[in-house]
Amino acid sequence: MGSEPQRSGEVLDLGVHAQVFEICAAPIWIYDSTFSVNVWGNKASLELFGVDEAAFKLPQLEMLGQFTPEQLRLWKKLNAQVHQDVEVDKKEINVTVTSGEPVPGFMKLDKPKLVLKASYKHICLTGAAERERDLTLIQVTAQIAPTVEDNQLRLVEMCNNHPMFQFLFDESGKLLAANKRALCNMREHLGSCENYNLRNYLAIGECDGSLGPDEMYKEAMEAIFVLDQPCHRFPQLRWSKRHPGKYRWVLYEMWPSIDPVSQQKAVLVCEQNISQVKALEEQIKKQNQRLEAQLEEALAQRDPVHKPAIDIDTPADKTLKLLDKIMRGHEVSAREAIELRDAIIQAGDLRQPVNFNEQLMKNSQTVLDNEVSQSLIQLLSSRRPAKIKEEEEEGEDHGAGSGHPDQDLRHIYARSNVTQDSVKALIAMHKNLPDEVLDVLAKVDDWQFDAFKLNEVSGGRPLSLLSYALLKRCEVADKFEMDDHRLVKFLMRIEDGYPNNPYHNRIHAADVLQSLHVLVVRGGLIAHGYCDEVSLTSCYLSAIIHDFEHKGVNNDYLVRVSDGLAVLYNDRSPMENHHLAASFQLMNSDEYNFLRKMPNKLRETLRKQIIEMVLATDMKQHFAIHSMFQAKMQLNGSVPSGGNGSGGKSMRTSPHPTSQDGHKVIDEDQRSLVLQVALKCADLGHLASPRIVHKKWVQYLEEEFFRQGDREKQNGLTVSPLMDREKNGISKSQVGFFDIVALPLFQSFAQAFQDATPMLDAVKDNYAMWREEAAVYANANSARSSK
């Protein structure tokens, strides 16, 4: 029922105007909403309702007994509106009336299928014998043609029998109308009542998502009545009332509408059963999962992904993988959830593999040799290998073991022979490099490099020569106005600080520097915005100093003999802390301070990055850093997601996020982590060297381990695994090291930075070599045993 403002109604005197209304063909009559009676009607109005004047003026409330309580409620509501809008506010309103519908002022229509349009106007009725009264003048303005009326009736029939439930609610959520099927469903769930509402109806189901029924209701009403959205849709899970234990999915579609009776805002709600659609979605999802699995399997066959012999996933890795699986729409079984819970409960450190020591020792009976397992535990775990722990506890009773510093280690550092002339000579050499040096440096951007050759052609100055050449070539020396003389003197002093160890020496430092250079420049770190000019300087300096004044023994040995470094740094990465502290002490002295002109803020950033990178080379931190790297890269869109933390074919986007303007958006924590892992890969860079060069490095490392074993014997300590000259050394353990440490690390990095894949391929080639040698060795042992 619509309304619009109108001028004050006319004053009507029936004694004067009645004859005029009588000759009108259109039905016209006067209605009093206060007493719900017709006061007067012309002849056409009496004929319309088929009654005489006396029956026409009977109180209408007496004739409403044939209507339902809902129809009676609506009639009273409309009568109150007529009284307020027409007789009080003096507005004109228009209505559409159908047969059988109770409307104020209208009597029962005898003609079925009749549709009328009428206007309600204010009049002020006066007469000689009575006071003025504000009443309503009703006039039938049009009668809908029978064909239109028939179509409307057909539409009503179609609506009532349509399988889709249809409702009309007002702004407060009250039900205005519904088709028959919708009303039956509403009564079935809510029972019979006079005032159904949308909020209660939504409460009988569960939403598909995080919103509850109340939130769904508020969101829907806001979308329609506040935001004026053309349509609002949401699904809901509805439990069956007729079939307990079963449920169905329904979809609600809501459109803004107008109540044709009150002309007020309303919302048309359609509810349809989408259980079959949901079932089809589930079927398609499972099919998609199968296709994804087949695709990953096909990719794995094309480019096999290495899986370690043990589970090296940390609880943090397992948690992220489970969450990732949920986010991708895959089902998570109760068994998977229980396994994750148990892994978290059993873990002493969420960034370390669960039961790492136990897993290794278990595999020592099958895949790995016992000594190899003990060696990996000593290298990677904060817990001592069981054998060393037990024997040292026995040794305490005899006065042997820890607590006796190794006096020989105090005088291991080499003397520096850096002179003014030697500094000038290196600077001059760089300006006019000999052909043999140029030939070697020409390969500095290659994925495989021979640092031993560089040592030969540089006259025993591989580190300082390569360092100075790279800093000048990449223009960071000029960018930060590094003092040439102090820079070269610092580089040569650092180089002289590398003792003549078989492995941890200046050649190793040069090899690590070249490996890191290639990873940064060709591996994608610069291309993807992870390495700016400050970070590039940090990378070079980190590689240069990362093993400065290395004592030729591992951290475990320093802790066991209570070396001064272990005492100074509380057994926490004593060698790595010393490399940093000793290097920065040199750098801060005026004699070696080549960064005097670098702004303080940049120096702070440089120092922070160098510290984080060098500390990351402590293998005790390997799993924590590796796990964090995978997590960080996953959160930015890609991760090596294969089993056991070893990487896999990622189906996701680039891990290198960009802003809307196309520039790289790099989180500083993520940048730091990427640089740390890059240096870790470079520190193991010889694993990607040509086979002959790689085996040479392994032989030197084996000799350095044997020398530590010799010291352990001299100090009455249990010899560390694989460090006894009288037994097999690390050359027999490479398969285990590649399997547990190297391949998962390099695969993770290559997954995040695909440009670094050549380094991974070279590591795989050396892994294949060691597997071949292990097979030959195993066959030879088997043949001897059979004899």
Just list the catalytic residues.
Answer: 504
β-strand partners of 30: 40, 137
| Residue 683 assigned to a binding site | yes
CA distance 127 to 109: 31
Residue 99 burial (10 A CB sphere; 0-12, 13-18, 19+): middle
| Residue 508 assigned to a binding site | yes
CB neighbours of 164 closer than 8 A, spacing ≥ 6? 181, 270, 271, 272
Q: Say which residue the tokens 């006066």 belong to.
A: 126
CA distance 735 to 606: 37
CA distance 38 to 60: 8
CA distance 114 to 257: 25
Check if the beta carbon of residue 443 is closer than 8 Å to that of residue 528.
Answer: no
Which helix (H) or strand (E) segment holds residue 568: the answer is helix 564-568
- Angle between helical axes of 600-615 and 533-545 (0-180°, round to 10): 50
Q: 134 in helix, strand or coil?
A: strand
CB neighbours of 389 closer than 8 A, spacing ≥ 6? none
Check if the beta carbon of residue 777 is closer than 8 Å to that of residue 369.
Answer: no
Angle (CA) 134 140 146, round 5°: 160
| Residue 771 assigned to a binding site | no
Check if the beta carbon of residue 308 is closer than 8 Å to that of residue 646.
Answer: yes
CB neighbours of 780 closer than 8 A, spacing ≥ 6? none
Backbone φ and ψ of 205, nearest 5°: -125, 175
CA distance 635 to 624: 17
| Residue 734 assigned to a binding site | yes
CA distance 12 to 10: 6
CA distance 503 to 496: 15
CA distance 136 to 122: 5
Q: 688 in helix, strand or coil?
A: helix
Instruction: Classify residue 105 as left (phi > 0), alpha (psi -120 to 50) or beta.
Output: left
CA distance 612 to 614: 6
CA distance 64 to 67: 6
Pairing of strands 115-127, 10-13: parallel
SS3 content of the chain, % helix, strand, coil (to 5): 55, 10, 35
Q: Within 13 Å and on the Cβ side, how many CA atoms surround 220?
A: 32
Angle (CA) 561 562 565, round 5°: 120
CA distance 260 to 5: 18
CB neighbours of 486 closer than 8 A, spacing ≥ 6? 591, 592, 593, 594, 596
| Residue 547 assigned to a binding site | yes
Angle (CA) 333 337 339, round 5°: 115
- Both tokens assigned to 519: 């990873």
Q: What is the sign, positive or negative, of the torsion defined by CA atoms of 249, 254, 258, 264?
A: positive
CB neighbours of 557 closer than 8 A, spacing ≥ 6? 406, 563, 708, 711, 712, 720
- What is each CA distance from 357 to 366, 377, 386, 474, in whole angstroms? 15, 6, 9, 44
| Residue 504 assigned to a binding site | yes
CB atoms within 10 A of CB 394: 12
| Alpha-carbon dihedral angle through residues 307, 308, 312, 313, given to the nearest 10 degrees | 0
Which residues are part of a known binding site?
504-508, 546-547, 683, 734
Which residues are part of a known binding site for AMP?
504-508, 547, 683, 734
Which residues are part of a known binding site for Zn(2+)?
508, 546-547, 683
